[in-house]
Structure 1
Amino acid sequence: MKILFVHQNFPGQFVHLAPALAADGGNEVVALSMQKNPPALWNGVKVFSYQVARGTSAETHPWLADSEPKVIRGEAAMRAALQLREQGFVPDVIIAHPGWGESLFLKSVWPKAKLGIYAEFFYHASGADVGFDPEFSSDNIEQACKIQLKNINNLLHIEMADAAISPTHWQASTFPSAFRERISVIHDGINTDMIAPNPGVALNLGGDLTLTRDDEVITFVNRNLEPYRGYHIFMRALPQILAQRPNARVLIVGGDDVSYGAKSATGKSWKEIFLSEVITQLPESALKRIHFLGNIPYQHFIPLLQLSRVHVYLTYPFVLSWSLLEAMSAGCAIVASNTQPLHEAIRQNETGRLVDFFDVAALTQEVCDLLDQPEERQRLGENARRFACEFYDLQRVCLPAQLEWVQTLAEETKVNIQNEISTDSLVNTVVIELK
């Protein structure tokens, strides 16, 4: 079987699936990526780079500012695909993350290939992330129009995709109902063997400060520190948490940029804005117990989770972070926002505690209560790990299901080819009889 992966920053969500398919000697696996100098061969996958010919136009209507870059990338990927076709590569299956538009025109190059897409999120002007947080929202008709046009890329892919894969049921539910029957809900997978509790863990934060399980550690993890992931709510809870817990240390992981929401109008980072908001409520002794770690290497990230006595995860109704499931796998006692994406993983008082996203006082109370209850933390952590192993384990649950999903796409391709051959044979027979 010949398989093409398409992701602007390959491997992305296909970090496990692509190598697993390449390890099967019967497959030829190729990837298209926008990385400038990717390795020619990565874990058995042949990687080809493509670059866009130009940037966006200053004259483009602002409501189409999200769509034009996707068309530009789609054209660039299409031209790279033409080169692959000229070299004799004809995929049976194309697996793409469509979020950046790269796969828009690949069915024009290979019309018989089956297209499977990663259905990450379908945008809505209300009822999901947009308008959820009144602090950063307004009843804006123009915004609704932009959201409507932002789904152009999604809708075009829905029209041509043969199947889709989505990591959670809630994310799948954001897509139009007519398309949902083509979506298989299979998570990317968590390596629960590697991410497991470790009573002997130690993490050096620089200098003489080394933390172990004997320390009272609270963790909070984002890709970037921003309102979409509840950074402002967490920071507003810290003065009271640290006042009530004089020995607690808070480890905050995340960059200064934005991943999903808008940048602040002031030009300052959200990290700086919300630290400044609460800094007058934090004595010097408390400030010294807040550790902003930035983006840390993965080999340090796992010990951080293993150290955690209470892990806090907050999010708008949006894409569920891998970090939440990794924290579950590490056996963390979790306090999370009572928002829709969490309901699949955090069951109240079973695999964690849920609090209203905006309720700073409730967040403070739940964190402090759990810090006072070691047996309850252990119970929740063990349940969380058991749940992660049962439903999100990479090797035993998710990857086998992903491989089966790809195989189904390939088998549909074979059926179509066989049907075409049968039809051609029938036509030839009829022609002979007519003569």
Structure 2
Amino acid sequence: MNIVFIHQNAPGQWRHVARHLAASGLHRVILIGKHRRAEIPGAEFRVYTVDAKHERGDSAPSAEAYANFVAHGLAVARVLQQLKQEGFIPDVIAAHPAWGESMFAKDVFPHVPLLHHCEYFYRTHGADHGFLEPASLESSMAIRARNTGLHVALAAMDWGVSPTFWQKSLYPAEAQARISVVHEGIDTDMFKPDSQACFTLPNGIVLTPEDEVVTYVARNLDTYRGTPTALRAAARLQGLRASARVLIIGGDGKGYGSLPDDGRSWKETLLEEIDLDPLRTHFLGRLGYDDYLRALQVSSAHMYLTIPFVLSWSMTEAMSTGCLVIGSDTAPVCELIRHGENGLLTDFFDANALADTLADALKNREALRPLRAAARATIVSAYDQRQCVPTLCRLLEDLATGALPPRDTETISLASTS
């Protein structure tokens, strides 16, 4: 097959399936992205360029946000047109539609099937909007306008995949009938427990699974991923457990939510009000995969908090590594974690409950070991890339030959057991 994968940060969620298809030597795989990211052996990379006048941040007015969406679509259309002029005709195109890149794919290649990664459809009620603070009429109208581009994307797609049932449920009913639940897959051979693992802190202290280590991971330390609750819980925990160390992994950028009014990072703002022990609190920034994995492997308890929003890879990777995940009782976390069976759940806003649960987990590590094994089993049984990638490959092959799954198909993977 000739396959095009489109993602602003290509390969993005297509990384495992793109790598698998490129490695086979049987397909021509082309990645289209805004920036040249990690190379995939055997795959070609094309970069698209958006006109500078159309570049806007998330705070852009609705009309300008839509113009930005269109601009990204035009930029990718130019790359697709160039491929067409070179004689390349894809059998199938797989894209993430959130930024508009696939908007005009069907105009360049009208007869080529289009698969979308349906990660998130914004709602004025029942999801992220209004969860952290009361929603205003203006913000609700902005959400509706923001979905305009996604409606265009849904009209163009032949089929879609969502990583969780909850994320699928956010989409309009007509679109849900053309969306299957297939996670992108976790590398369970890489993310696995290791009783001999060690993690060296910047100060030279070496941590092992025998130490009391609490981990927290977010791409950026922000409100969407519960950083305020996590840091407040860490401070209380340190008063309850004299030996507990807390590893905070993540950057200081804007993240998904907004920054404090003064423009500083949430880390700076929170450290002014939260009394954390500097000798037992370790802000590690963003880590490379090897260090990140070792941190998970020495973790005694792992905090994962999110408002109702997209599920982070870090939670599934922590579960695959056999971490005891203490998550927020929010969607889609509770789709994977069953309290007391394969992890523990607490209220997203309740730092005291989180701290007390962490302290209990550190005190009763041996008794809670079965939950860690069950967490890994959950990922191996339904979210392992060895299952998810072949499922995605079959879907791509079916689309390329004109075969679509039956409408209203709940899932075409083993994720139905989750």
TM interval, shorter chain, is over 0.9
1:327 paired to 2:318: yes
Contact 1:309 1:377 (8 Å CA) reproduced: no
For residues 4-403 of structure 1, the aligned pairs below 5 Å read 4-35=4-35, 42-56=40-54, 62-133=61-132, 137-279=133-275, 282=276, 286-395=277-386, 397-403=387-393
Specify the code of the residue in structure 2 equivalent to 1:51: T
The answer for unaligned runs of 5 or more in structure 1 is 415-435
For residues 413-428 of structure 1, the aligned pairs below 5 Å read none
1:76–1:413: structure 2 CA closer, same or farther, 3 Å change rule? farther
Contact 2:129 2:135 (8 Å CA) reproduced: no
Report the more deviating stretch, 308-317 or 41-50. 41-50
**Rounded Cα–Cα distance in structure 2 between residues aligned with 1:57 and 1:274:** 31
The Cα of 1:146 is off from its aligned counterpart by: 0.4
Specify the code of the residue in structure 1 equivalent to 2:249: V
The Cα of 1:186 is off from its aligned counterpart by: 0.7
Specify the code of the residue in structure 2 equivalent to 1:347: R
Partner-residue secondary structure (3-state), 1:291: strand
CA deviation map 1:34-82 (0-9, x unaligned)? 22x568x732111112211332389x98222322211111111111111
1:410 paired to 2:400: yes
**Rounded Cα–Cα distance in structure 2 between residues aligned with 1:181 and 1:368:** 44
Specify the code of the residue in structure 1 equivalent to 2:131: F
The Cα of 1:23 is off from its aligned counterpart by: 3.1
Partner-residue secondary structure (3-state), 1:349: coil
**Rounded Cα–Cα distance in structure 1 between residues aligned with 2:385 and 2:230:** 30
Specify the code of the residue in structure 1 equivalent to 2:42: G
Partner-residue secondary structure (3-state), 1:228: coil
For residue 419 of structure 1, what is the aligned residue in structure 2?
Answer: none
CA deviation map 1:164-198 (0-9, x unaligned)? 01111111111111111211111111111111111
Specify the code of the residue in structure 1 equivalent to 2:47: S
CA deviation map 1:179-226 (0-9, x unaligned)? 112111111111111111111111111243111122110000000001
Identify, as 1 or 2, the structure richer in helix: 1
Contact 1:220 1:251 (8 Å CA) reproduced: yes
1:238–1:380: structure 2 CA closer, same or farther, 3 Å change rule? same
**Rounded Cα–Cα distance in structure 2 between residues aligned with 1:116 and 1:102:** 13
Specify the code of the residue in structure 2 equivalent to 1:390: S
Contact 1:221 1:323 (8 Å CA) reproduced: yes
CA deviation map 1:247-294 (0-9, x unaligned)? 110000010012211222111101111121213xx4xxx221000000
The Cα of 1:25 is off from its aligned counterpart by: 3.8
The Cα of 1:345 is off from its aligned counterpart by: 1.0
**Rounded Cα–Cα distance in structure 2 between residues aligned with 1:258 and 1:245:** 32
Contact 2:343 2:371 (8 Å CA) reproduced: yes
Contact 2:22 2:40 (8 Å CA) reproduced: no
1:260–1:389: structure 2 CA closer, same or farther, 3 Å change rule? same
The answer for unaligned runs of 5 or more in structure 2 is 405-418
**Rounded Cα–Cα distance in structure 2 between residues aligned with 1:71 and 1:304:** 41
Aligned length: 402
Contact 2:92 2:113 (8 Å CA) reproduced: yes
Specify the code of the residue in structure 2 equivalent to 1:9: N
**Rounded Cα–Cα distance in structure 2 between residues aligned with 1:157 and 1:57:** 20
**Rounded Cα–Cα distance in structure 1 between residues aligned with 2:235 and 2:72:** 46
Contact 2:9 2:37 (8 Å CA) reproduced: no
Partner-residue secondary structure (3-state), 1:380: helix
**Rounded Cα–Cα distance in structure 1 between residues aligned with 2:365 and 2:306:** 26
Contact 1:242 1:248 (8 Å CA) reproduced: yes
For residue 428 of structure 1, what is the aligned residue in structure 2?
Answer: none
**Rounded Cα–Cα distance in structure 2 between residues aligned with 1:8 and 1:61:** 18
Contact 2:327 2:346 (8 Å CA) reproduced: yes
**Rounded Cα–Cα distance in structure 2 between residues aligned with 1:30 and 1:379:** 43
The two structures have a TM-score, normalised by structure 1, of 0.89
Specify the code of the residue in structure 2 equivalent to 1:21: L
Partner-residue secondary structure (3-state), 1:240: helix
Specify the code of the residue in structure 2 equivalent to 1:123: Y
**Rounded Cα–Cα distance in structure 2 between residues aligned with 1:190 and 1:317:** 21
**Rounded Cα–Cα distance in structure 2 between residues aligned with 1:90 and 1:152:** 29
Measured on the aligned residues, the alpha-carbon RMSD in Å equals 1.8
CA deviation map 1:127-154 (0-9, x unaligned)? 1001112xxx234111011000100111
Contact 2:131 2:307 (8 Å CA) reproduced: yes
Contact 2:30 2:46 (8 Å CA) reproduced: yes
1:207–1:16: structure 2 CA closer, same or farther, 3 Å change rule? same
The Cα of 1:12 is off from its aligned counterpart by: 0.9
CA deviation map 1:379-399 (0-9, x unaligned)? 11011111111111112x111
The percentage of counterpart residues that share the same residue type is 40
Contact 1:331 1:381 (8 Å CA) reproduced: yes
Specify the code of the residue in structure 2 equivalent to 1:158: L
1:61–1:34: structure 2 CA closer, same or farther, 3 Å change rule? closer
CA deviation map 1:350-406 (0-9, x unaligned)? 0111111111221111111111102233111011111111111112x1111111111
